Structure 1
Amino acid sequence: MATAVETLDKLERRITITLPLADVRAEVEKRLKIRARTAKAPGFRPGKVPMKMVEAQYGYQVETEVLNDKVGRAFNEAAAENNLRVAGFPKIEPKTGEGVGEGAVAFDATFEVYPDVKIGDLSTVEVEKVKTDVTDAEIDKTIEILRKQRVHYHVKGEQGAHGDGGADLTAQNGDRVTIDFVGKIDGVEFQGGKAEDFVFVLGEGRMLPEFEAATIGLKVGESKTFPLNFPADYHGKDVAGKTAEFAITLKKLEWAHMPEVDAEFAKSLGIADGDIGKMRADIKSNLEREVGNRVKAKTKDSVMDALIKVAELDVPNALVEQDTERLAEMTRQDMAQRGMNVKDMPFPPDLFKAQAERRVRLGLILAEVVKANKLEATADQVKAQVEDFAQSYEDPQQVVKYYYSDRRRLAEVEALVLEENVVNYVLGKAKVTEKTVSFDELMGNTAQA
């Protein structure tokens, strides 16, 4: 039997659950008899173990199971009777002293409930909607990136199918060099300061600027000795902030040849007939799809920020704690998949708490907006979204089957559609300002441009 619901805080509640001891003992006895049918003990055949021995061996375990089942069932019934939407899991603690009748056992169930969510006037919120155009410049830049990805190298000065690399036989930016080097600090070699047949491309920033500068201008067979100042924040703590003297010898010099933008290049990108125009159109389509996704993401972030500002609600700590643990575990798994040893690595909850609180808050707000305005994802919307995902793959139909063969995958798509419905609803109500951003800014390439 459950007592009245006590309000402890804004969202915190408590229910006292009382169970007759006779009912508990009867259920324990019933389960022990069932357990006795298959119980084993030295000197006895299975099922012939004396009841006292069965009770001694399994009594505590069975009693715990019975109490958990009965308390859980009573709690669920009480929550339903009182129309309580329980957030997270209740904390169950035995209750003793006053209020516990003779021949009964009692437990206090402390828990949180879902909050009331009040959405303010959406016409007062401001939302920024970004816009980005894909021009020929972006297509050209993408083609250059694709060419660099297909670069291959030839020895400078040796005539081949693509030429000899020119008359300049010195190392320059863009060339691939093979060197031997030895570094010393105060005349002593240090760990990691020596290598043979070490290969890197000049101008890519793999080596410290002073190292690259010393290599530029060398010819094959030439050597150079030069000082190098390691930065104070250098990753190698043993040499950070120190000055070393390096001796390098250039052993091999290769120039970079990038493929021409011709029919063969187009074919390598999947254009069967090698048509350059089709290749550019295909690149533009892919860029526009990526731009569209990023524009949607930025607009969605702006909408979510606006909803947080206009909504009033208390966030259940239980849900935040659950999501904090989920984020920590996701991070742990991701790092493990990247080959990192996370066995003894600490994952303090504070690292994830702010993100978890925002996620829970938004989830509650979105649920309220969807419910109040009937914005649930329709089957047609989900299908359209899946087909849109599939377009960027070689076999779209296989991708469609992949999503529809697993309810969890489809649920992820439904969640995306639902979010888009909310975004569109808010955009229709809010004060929307359009902002044009450059392609590089949108793609996060401003530092490379």
Structure 2
Amino acid sequence: MQVSVESGEGLERRVTVELPAEQIEVEVTKRLKQIGRTAKLDGFRPGKVPMNLLRRNYGGQVLQEVYGQMIESSYQEAIQQEKLQPAGMPKIEPKESTEEGLFSYVATLEVMPDIKLTELTGEIKQPVAEITAQDVEDMIEKLRKQRATWNNVDRAAAEGDQVKISFKGLVDGEAFEGGSAENVDLVLGSNRMIEGFESGLVGMVKEEKRSIDLQFPEDYRVEELAGKPVTFEVEVNEVAEEVLPQVDDDFAKDFGAGEGVDKLKEDIQENMRRELSQRVKARIKSQAMDLIFEQNKIDIPKALIEEEIEALRKQTREQMGQGAGSFELPREMFEDQARRRVTLGLLIGEIIKQNEIQVDNDRVRQTIEEYAASYEQPEEVVKFYYGNQQQLASVQNVVLEDQVVDWVMEQVEVVDDETTFAALTEQG
């Protein structure tokens, strides 16, 4: 077997493989003889069919099979011989050989990049925050709002009230699709409607009717309505005010704190500490990944990007649920994200390899226990992870990435960034 490699654009390689035609002929003849043992042709007993007839009837099929198998085996041998690392499946094309008695083909493929890591520079801002008593009170207030009820009142609607309305929208004096509704509940100040709609309802009372002249924003989601003036004819059917529950033992029990309000506050504080830790960790990791990605420019095999785009497409369709498969999500939606994920995957792998980073099993255990802490029976969750190799591997990968983040923090300057729990949660 003779092998030559030619470099194409970027990571593309064209591997030319030449095989002796005699080798192919020997294999074809061997297989035809095997077929001849059982082949049934008119006028001949099995095992007695002449070779020329076997070739005429089965030669084409056998030749294709031999070609396919010899290409597969010789391709694997060729890339090992040339020390190539394919990034995907090759494109195989037959080629006319320059010499008689040779069978040739060209395998066009992309290879994995040769990664040379650069020395990282810059800084990472490490958020520093505490859970205050006010943070806990703010969280309790959010929980109260989750349990809020609405009582009808006989007064004018104010900001924060819920109104039940019927309305009809008119553009150029004509009703438009989606612009009308009956008995819709709307909390004033929720910003569900276009600007000016909710504030235009403030001061209205039950059974009052009002026309509100507004304008759709220039970037409105319905292109035909964007930027156009609109009149909404609105009738208020009910006005209701928010009633928040008392923070008492019954309220605490609703959130699993049977011992009372003090226990509820303890649970809330513990959950907030856990969330704070996760958000700080996520913020640091995001900065570390940005530094790795931005300071290491490498060529990426197109095949890997396409694979990642398809994976993201599939994931998005699954998240969208039934009906998502009825239309094709454009690949452009995912290209930048796919490129970043593939790039970081290769770079992180190289960092782990070059620095001989081994997964810290103690951190794996700690991470699993943190996952389990929010469940009623955490020990069962821990057993589940250690009893499921796939789930355990996913945690090990997370821990390895965390260890890479630690490595990044050793390379660059880390500065404290004073903040608050509220600021961290608002920023996401």
TM-score range, shorter chain: 0.7 to 0.9
8 Å CA contact 2:92–2:107 kept in 1: the answer is yes
Which of these residues, 304, 323, 327, is aligned with residue 319 of structure 1?
Answer: 304
Q: Does 1:298 align with 2:283?
A: yes
Pair 10,237 (structure 1): closer, same or farther in 2 beyond 3 Å: closer
8 Å CA contact 1:323–1:360 kept in 2: the answer is yes
Q: Does 1:284 align with 2:255?
A: no
| Aligned residue identity for 2:328 | M
Q: Distance in 2 between matches of 1:387 and 1:36?
A: 66
Q: How much does 1:218 deviate?
A: 2.3
Aligned partner of residue 105 in structure 1, secondary structure: strand
Pair 307,68 (structure 1): closer, same or farther in 2 beyond 3 Å: same
8 Å CA contact 1:11–1:115 kept in 2: the answer is yes
Which of these residues, 193, 203, 208, is aligned with residue 222 of structure 1?
Answer: 208
Q: How does 1:15-164 map to 2 (within 5 A)?
A: 15-24=15-24, 27=27, 63-98=63-98, 100-102=99-101, 104-122=102-120, 124-156=121-153
Q: Distance in 2 between matches of 1:92 and 1:290?
A: 52
Q: Which string of whole-angstrom CA distances, capped at 9 and with x for unpartnered residues, describes residues 38-82 of structure 1? A: 999xxxxxx9xx999999998766654543332222222232234
| Aligned residue identity for 1:78 | A
Pair 127,66 (structure 1): closer, same or farther in 2 beyond 3 Å: farther
Pair 128,201 (structure 1): closer, same or farther in 2 beyond 3 Å: closer
Q: Which string of whole-angstrom CA distances, capped at 9 and with x for unpartnered residues, describes residues 341-363 of structure 1? A: 45343513x44333333323222
Q: Distance in 2 between matches of 1:204 and 1:35?
A: 78
1:165 alignment counterpart: none
Q: Distance in 1 between matches of 2:379 and 2:38?
A: 53
Structure 1: which 5+ residue stretches go unaligned? 41-46, 158-168
Q: How much does 1:33 deviate?
A: 8.4
Q: Which string of whole-angstrom CA distances, capped at 9 and with x for unpartnered residues, describes residues 408-448 of structure 1? A: 322221111111111112222322222223333322359xx
8 Å CA contact 1:118–1:312 kept in 2: the answer is no
Structure 2: which 5+ residue stretches go unaligned? 41-45
Q: How much does 1:222 deviate?
A: 2.7
Q: How much does 1:288 deviate?
A: 2.0
Which of these residues, 369, 376, 381, is aligned with residue 394 of structure 1?
Answer: 376
Q: Which string of whole-angstrom CA distances, capped at 9 and with x for unpartnered residues, describes residues 191-216 of structure 1? A: 43433322222221223343323322
Pair 432,229 (structure 1): closer, same or farther in 2 beyond 3 Å: closer
8 Å CA contact 2:4–2:17 kept in 1: the answer is no
Pair 411,2 (structure 1): closer, same or farther in 2 beyond 3 Å: farther
Q: Distance in 2 between matches of 1:58 and 1:277?
A: 85
1:160 alignment counterpart: none
Q: How much does 1:182 deviate?
A: 3.5
TM-score by length of 2: 0.84
8 Å CA contact 2:97–2:103 kept in 1: the answer is no
Q: How much does 1:268 deviate?
A: 1.0
Aligned partner of residue 118 in structure 1, secondary structure: coil
Pair 245,34 (structure 1): closer, same or farther in 2 beyond 3 Å: farther
Q: How much does 1:220 deviate?
A: 2.1
Aligned partner of residue 3 in structure 2, secondary structure: coil
Which of these residues, 229, 236, 249, is aligned with residue 250 of structure 1?
Answer: 236
Q: Distance in 1 between matches of 2:382 and 2:308?
A: 30
| Aligned residue identity for 2:115 | V
Pair 21,232 (structure 1): closer, same or farther in 2 beyond 3 Å: same
| Aligned residue identity for 1:397 | E
Q: Distance in 2 between matches of 1:298 and 1:39?
A: 71
| Aligned residue identity for 2:342 | V
How many correspondences in the alignment? 423
- For the aligned residues, what is the CA RMSD? 3.7
Q: Distance in 1 between matches of 2:131 and 2:32?
A: 73
2:356 alignment counterpart: 374
1:162 alignment counterpart: none
Pair 422,35 (structure 1): closer, same or farther in 2 beyond 3 Å: farther
